[in-house]
Amino acid sequence: MKKNNIKILILAGVRPNFIKIAPLLEEIKKHRQIKQVLVHTGQHYDFKMSQVFFEDLNIPRPNYNLGVGSGSHAYQIGEALIKLEKVVLKEKPNLIIIVGDANSCLVGSLVATKLYLPVAHVEAGLRSFNRKMPEEINRLLTDHLSDYLFVHDPAAVENLLREGIERKKIFFVGNIMIDSLEGAKKKIKNLKFYKKFGLKEKEYALLTLHRQENVDDKEIFQGIITAIEKIQKRIKVIYPLHVRTEKRIKEFGFWTRVKNMKNLIITPPLSYLKTLSLMAGSRFVMTDSGGVQEETTILNVPCLTLRQETERPITVKVGTNKVVGTKEKDIIREALKVLNGKIKKGKTPKYWDGKTARRIISIILEKHGKQ
């Protein structure tokens, strides 16, 4: 490889990862000196969970698919470690880029560190301060192994500094997910996917629910379902059902109850563009997803976060997001507030402008040139 040329290995494994890598891959195309190697761990291997996102986001076929599949955290991490190490030894990249907080993120940082390669973490510094969340452990370990920490929130900078990470490793670049959202706005405006279900704009709510701390705890999950049961009597609710969540509903004996909710519309997992279209057209969103909190902020759609905390506090501070917890009465109370017109107005955080990928690649090229 010529001097100052660089080979970058980009690692992804789950749907939120794909949304974050798409702008990076598009930006890399503009730089001839960069060769990219795309690796998919195969953590989300179902078409609805993976391939359809590649199509929506114009992501090229991965150079490698590790085929890890489903399983426990230990299994996924162990399998991916073994398989990724072989790819890295073969490809000999100059840098590994990891995104988000899934198991693939931790795997990438571990392999890079063990093989003495620099690693860049996109979406670094997020903290829920809840170590029962598997994602929180991934975030902590990944950030402390990373050489480039690309953050999208001033609070994330403070988190990293408080943990003793050197300031020179931290770069405030903005939110990479908004790059993808900005590129999709025209498509989702024209799609109007809610019409497929006979719905009208602003006359339905969108629900997304999948996090382990919610759906793996029967008591918490039951409280959320009871709240949805009452809310859907006031407004139709559309729920793209995560495969793992569906298993828990059936395992806990909630399936008949869920199916009997007349105004709850259940769909299989949806593509990126279809999900955004439903989000943009909704009256409000109920979610436990971090990415949805950010997307609703930009789309100016009220968001009720069904968790005890958020690692994205800026969406609460300047956006339309409110953390309401998981108790039935709290969820219902806040949903009724929105239905009664008590809506928080949001604004766009700094650097959530669709130019984050450009900033990231510019920094990497600048630093690489000095090596």
Cβ-Cβ contacts under 8 Å for 339 (sequence gap 6 or more): 234, 235, 283, 284
The residue among 134, 130, 272, 125 whose CA lies nearest residue 208 is: 272
pTM exceeds 0.95, yes or no = no
Question: For the chain, where do the domains classified as CATH 3.40.50.2000 start and end?
Answer: 6-174+352-369, 185-339
Sole residue written with tokens 């382990």: 212
Q: What is the pLDDT of residue 132?
A: 87
Please give the backbone phi and psi of residue 47, each rounded to the nearest 5 degrees, phi first: -55, -45
Selected from 3.40.50.2000, 3.40.640.10, 3.40.50.720, 3.40.50.460, the CATH number assigned to the domain covering 6-174+352-369 reads 3.40.50.2000
Angstrom distance (rounded) from CA 218 to CA 178: 34
Of 40, 152, 210, 242, the active-site residue reads: 210
- 201 C-beta neighbours (distance < 10 Å), count: 12
Does residue 210 carry a catalytic annotation? Answer: yes
pLDDT by residue for the chain (371 residues), tens only, comes to: 555 789 999 999 888 899 999 999 999 999 999 999 999 998 655 545 567 888 889 999 999 999 887 778 888 899 999 999 999 999 999 999 999 998 999 999 999 999 999 999 999 999 999 998 889 999 999 999 999 999 999 999 999 999 999 999 999 999 999 999 999 999 998 999 999 999 999 999 999 999 989 999 999 999 999 999 999 999 999 999 988 899 999 999 999 999 999 999 999 999 999 999 999 999 999 999 999 999 999 999 999 999 999 999 999 999 899 999 999 999 999 999 999 998 888 999 999 999 999 999 999 999 876 55
First to last CA, the chain: 15
Strand order across the beta sheet in which 6-12 lies: 64-65, 34-40, 6-12, 95-99, 119-122, 148-151, 170-172
Angstrom distance (rounded) from CA 241 to CA 254: 14
Which tokens in the block code for residue 35? 């060769």
The CATH class, in words, for 185-339 is alpha beta
